[in-house]
Chains A and B, each alone.
Chain A
Amino acid sequence: MNLKSFLTNRWAVAAGFAVAAVLLLVVAPALLSSFRLGLLGKYLCYAMVAVGIGLAWGRGGMLVLGQGVFFGLGAYIMAMHLKLADAPPSTGVPDFMALISSDGVPVWWEPFRSGVVTLIAIVVVPTAVAVLLGLATFRRRVRGAYFAILSQALAAAFAILLIGNPRSTGGSTGLNNFKGFFGFSLRDPANRMTLYVIAVVALLAMVAVARQLMVSRYGELLVACRDAEERVRFLGYDPAAIKTFAYAVAAVMAGVAGALFVPIVGIVSPNDVGIVPSIGLLIGVAIGGRTTLLGPVLGAIAVAWAETSLSERFPSGWTYAQGLLFMLVVAFLPGGLASLRPIVRGWRERLRPSHTADSAPVPSLSGSSR
């Protein structure tokens, strides 16, 4: 069964979702300690970003090296709200601000005192940034490596901005020490469990959205833009709009992931949003197989899990393992682990010369649309 028929088969899809829901909502909480479950919740946040990367990079050919920006926007917006909610009512100034300055809360923090504004901003701000950036670059037909460099520079600039303004962003420490989440205590295991469930639901919803986009006519257009952008343009479509939409969807997914990351992990710092984590997310997607629906999700979770367990066993060893893994995938498996199946099939067919090989085309890693 190829990807397309798997994606459109209603029973296969329903069964897939049911299995995932049972695994994540029943099996995982039963088997894992509350600490490991919290870690799994964190991986699920990375997986959400990965779903978006799969859409933008795998299907749309945009090598998004700076998803940390959108992740960070969502995370910091949520963190600002939580810090303001925790602030002592007498002053209204969060603890870390009172420590290094006596200027009070910056004006641009004030809107986030409202929970409603915060929730809206988590979706709207990443969307707005992605649409602006997407239209500005795709209309000018900036793509391939140039787009990748641009998005990566944005991640670097964002992290430097955060570090450079410690009075309002917590600087290199970031924001942490959250007591509550919309009025619920974060120390209560029942509330932490709820957050985990919310993360599972959000991830499944995002996978459902990504699947729907993939099988729709829009999905066909997106792949067409990736493979032959000029032809799409000659047919009368606007590739810039098509790509911007996918980029914005990926941005929202990253933003929501960041917003959930904050209460689950309990801290967000510039180290979680800069170039290194942005590339780390991409590695998971590349390993899992960026053009598939579940490859990015499984890849991101597997890489995050490997990072935790490897760094527990060999302190300082993870960095090398991550680099090695990425090189191996780029060199030998450009389609990720998900492309193993067609490769194996290709071998089998080579052994039987009567058949003509029909291995799936593997898109080039540069993400260029050419």
Chain B
Amino acid sequence: MNISLARRLVAVATVSAMGLLVGCGARVSDDPSTGAAGAGCVDTSGSSVKIGFLNSRSGTMAISENTVYNSLKLAADQINAAGGVAGKQLAIVAEDGASEPTTFAEKAEKLIRGDCVAAVFGGWTSSSRKAMLPVFESNNALLFYPVQYEGLESSKNIFYTGATTNQQIVPALDYLKEKGAKSLFLVGSDYVFPQTANKIIKAYAKANGIEVKGEEYAPLGHTDFSTIVSKVKAADADAVFNTLNGDSNVAFFKEYKNAGLTADAMPVLSVSIAEEEVGGIGVGNIVGQPVAWNYYQTIDSAQNKKFVADFKAAYGPTKVTSDPMEAAYTSLYLWKGMVEKAKSFAVADIQKAAGGVTFDAPEGKVTVNGENHHIAKTALIGKIGQDGLIHTDWTSGKPIEPDPYLKSYPWATGLSG
């Protein structure tokens, strides 16, 4: 029968595949760090060096991540105009993460192994970071991640220039406690950041005698909040801790206002609403509500005034600047500082030199922690004003050392699993 030939071919190929598998592959038990993929291919011989920007330019996250891209671009242009990094001009390779974890992983690999970039800047959602982490670790490359996140992570191949929990969520809880909150209601989107954050919030609440009256999750993109808001209203907590992300905030705050709830009666403290999002939600729906970040456009410093002015000059006078944008801008300058301190673009040299590198960022002076690759940042609780900007209401006063695993907080033991 004519199929036999094809079958024979398949059989031969199968046998050879099995032979290859048994023959020379390394077992898991072998040291994984010796993978040959770790050999870098970064070319630093010329007058320029390649860096990668990986942001979602399409899909649901594009609206947020485009702002980060713009801010990274601004930093790169400024650095190039001032003579580059260690005398080399930066050549940007930009890739689209398309708001999909799988695409982030693929494009990260492309930037590292195809384009041989010296470092990659980008990512926003925790999903995108978690998708990229194994790629950077197995290729021994560097990622600078600019967004606040849920902590409990520390990779030697990632520098986290946004806040970790003890620089944003824990100060926010301290703030609510100071204001006399005895009970909380937790509202969040149904994914890893809000869930992990709420796990931490519940541990804090338990240790501080705060009652958690309810915990509700909505799928990302969910826009019907009548049920959740009526539960919040019925629970009558002293404050709401909001970890909703994206469009859901628009619907939530409209419904919250419609239900007759106000910032005075039951404040909603949000950790994912920055200047950029306030416009979408509508200032009238959210005015007076507290938010927690490490940077606001209204910060009164020479560095920030210059950053805001430069950004508006590059992208238009109506543009606002926000915490993730500032953290992205800062991340490129921190990498520049690390390279110039290490006098090398090699990953191992940068990892060694990173500790103690500082930058006078728009948010204030930041310092890299060489142990966990996060940066010391000042926590700021702000209130949303009538002008749509956020005004600082409370500050930690000085930069808080990053502690992603919350090791210095007795109530958090056991959280990192």
Q: Which residues of A contact B (CB under 8 A)?
A: 8-10, 13-14, 17-18, 21, 25, 33-36, 38-39, 42, 93, 96, 98-102, 160, 163-164, 166-167, 171-174, 176-180, 183-191, 193-194, 197-198, 200-201, 204-205, 208, 211-212, 265-269, 271-272, 308, 311-312, 315-316, 318-319
Contact of B191 among A99, A173, A308 (CB under 8 A): A173
* Given A17-B6, A190-B20: A173 in contact with B131 (beta carbons within 8 A): yes
Can you give 12 A-B contacts (C-beta < 8 A)? A25-B13, A166-B192, A171-B191, A176-B101, A185-B26, A188-B30, A190-B24, A208-B6, A212-B3, A269-B100, A271-B100, A318-B96
Please tell me if the beta carbons of B13 and A177 are within 8 angstroms of each other in the complex: no
Please tell me if the beta carbons of B102 and A172 are within 8 angstroms of each other in the complex: no
A266 to B132, CA, bound (A): 10
Of B32-40, B269-277, B305-313, B329-337, the one with at least 4 CB within 8 A of chain A: B32-40
Q: CB-nearest residue of chain A relative to B128?
A: A173
Please tell me if the beta carbons of B10 and A10 are within 8 angstroms of each other in the complex: no
User: How far is the CB of B155 from the nearest CB of chain A, in Å?
Assistant: 11
Please tell me if the beta carbons of A201 and B35 are within 8 angstroms of each other in the complex: no
Please tell me if the beta carbons of B114 and A33 are within 8 angstroms of each other in the complex: yes
With a cutoff of 8 Å between Cβ atoms, the chain B residues found around residue A8 in the complex are 2
A173 to B99, CA, bound (A): 11
Please tell me if the beta carbons of A14 and B220 are within 8 angstroms of each other in the complex: no
User: How far is the CB of A93 from the nearest CB of chain B, in Å?
Assistant: 8
Please tell me if the beta carbons of A269 and B127 are within 8 angstroms of each other in the complex: yes
B62 at the interface (CB under 8 A from A): yes
B135 at the interface (CB under 8 A from A): yes
Contact of A197 among B16, B105, B113, B195 (CB under 8 A): B16
* Given A35-B113, A271-B102: A10 in contact with B5 (beta carbons within 8 A): yes
B130 at the interface (CB under 8 A from A): yes
Contact of A315 among B13, B16, B20, B95 (CB under 8 A): B95
Please tell me if the beta carbons of A316 and B100 are within 8 angstroms of each other in the complex: no
Q: CB-nearest residue of chain A relative to B93?
A: A312
Please tell me if the beta carbons of A187 and B135 are within 8 angstroms of each other in the complex: no
With a cutoff of 8 Å between Cβ atoms, the chain B residues found around residue A164 in the complex are 190, 219
0/1 per residue, B94-119, Cβ < 8 Å to A?
A: 11101011110110011001100000
A9 to B5, CA, bound (A): 12
Q: CB-nearest residue of chain A relative to B8?
A: A14
Q: How many residue-residue contacts, CB under 8 A, span A and B? A: 198
With a cutoff of 8 Å between Cβ atoms, the chain B residues found around residue A101 in the complex are 195, 199
B133 at the interface (CB under 8 A from A): yes
Given contacts A197-B20, A267-B105, 16 further A-B contacts (CB under 8 A): A14-B2, A99-B196, A101-B195, A101-B199, A176-B101, A178-B134, A180-B27, A184-B25, A185-B28, A187-B138, A189-B37, A204-B9, A269-B101, A269-B102, A315-B96, A316-B62
With a cutoff of 8 Å between Cβ atoms, the chain B residues found around residue A163 in the complex are 190-191, 219-220
A266 to B139, CA, bound (A): 13
A25 to B14, CA, bound (A): 12
B7 at the interface (CB under 8 A from A): yes
With a cutoff of 8 Å between Cβ atoms, the chain B residues found around residue A10 in the complex are 2, 5
User: How far is the CB of A363 from the nearest CB of chain B, in Å?
Assistant: 26
Please tell me if the beta carbons of B131 and A269 are within 8 angstroms of each other in the complex: yes
With a cutoff of 8 Å between Cβ atoms, the chain A residues found around residue B94 in the complex are 315
With a cutoff of 8 Å between Cβ atoms, the chain B residues found around residue A173 in the complex are 101, 126-127, 130-131, 191-192
With a 10 A CB-CB cut-off, give which of B32, B102, B125, B220 has the most chain A CB atoms. B102
With a 10 A CB-CB cut-off, give which of A13, A184, A189, A267 has the most chain B CB atoms. A267
With a cutoff of 8 Å between Cβ atoms, the chain B residues found around residue A315 in the complex are 57-58, 94-96
B82 at the interface (CB under 8 A from A): no
Q: CB-nearest residue of chain A relative to B414?
A: A102
A93 to B14, CA, bound (A): 34
A99 to B196, CA, bound (A): 7
A176 to B324, CA, bound (A): 25
User: How far is the CB of A29 from the nearest CB of chain B, in Å?
Assistant: 11
With a cutoff of 8 Å between Cβ atoms, the chain A residues found around residue B98 in the complex are 311, 316, 318
With a cutoff of 8 Å between Cβ atoms, the chain B residues found around residue A211 in the complex are 3, 6
With a cutoff of 8 Å between Cβ atoms, the chain A residues found around residue B191 in the complex are 163, 166, 171-173
User: How far is the CB of B96 from the nearest CB of chain A, in Å?
Assistant: 3
A178 to B126, CA, bound (A): 18
User: How far is the CB of B200 from the nearest CB of chain A, in Å?
Assistant: 11
Please tell me if the beta carbons of B113 and A201 are within 8 angstroms of each other in the complex: no
* Given A34-B113, A183-B28, A188-B25: A102 in contact with B417 (beta carbons within 8 A): yes
A283 to B103, CA, bound (A): 19
Please tell me if the beta carbons of B9 and A14 are within 8 angstroms of each other in the complex: yes
Please tell me if the beta carbons of A177 and B28 are within 8 angstroms of each other in the complex: no
A10 to B131, CA, bound (A): 46
Please tell me if the beta carbons of B135 and A266 are within 8 angstroms of each other in the complex: yes
B21 at the interface (CB under 8 A from A): yes
* Given A100-B195, A271-B101: A172 in contact with B17 (beta carbons within 8 A): no
A190 to B195, CA, bound (A): 38
With a cutoff of 8 Å between Cβ atoms, the chain B residues found around residue A33 in the complex are 113-114
B152 at the interface (CB under 8 A from A): yes
With a cutoff of 8 Å between Cβ atoms, the chain B residues found around residue A172 in the complex are 101, 125, 127, 191-192, 220
Please tell me if the beta carbons of A198 and B17 are within 8 angstroms of each other in the complex: yes
Contact of A179 among B28, B152, B190, B192 (CB under 8 A): B28
With a cutoff of 8 Å between Cβ atoms, the chain B residues found around residue A14 in the complex are 2, 5-6, 9
With a cutoff of 8 Å between Cβ atoms, the chain B residues found around residue A179 in the complex are 28, 32
A201 to B6, CA, bound (A): 11
With a cutoff of 8 Å between Cβ atoms, the chain B residues found around residue A187 in the complex are 26, 32, 35, 37, 138
Q: CB-nearest residue of chain A relative to B17?
A: A197
Q: CB-nearest residue of chain B relative to A178?
A: B134
User: How far is the CB of B22 from the nearest CB of chain A, in Å?
Assistant: 9
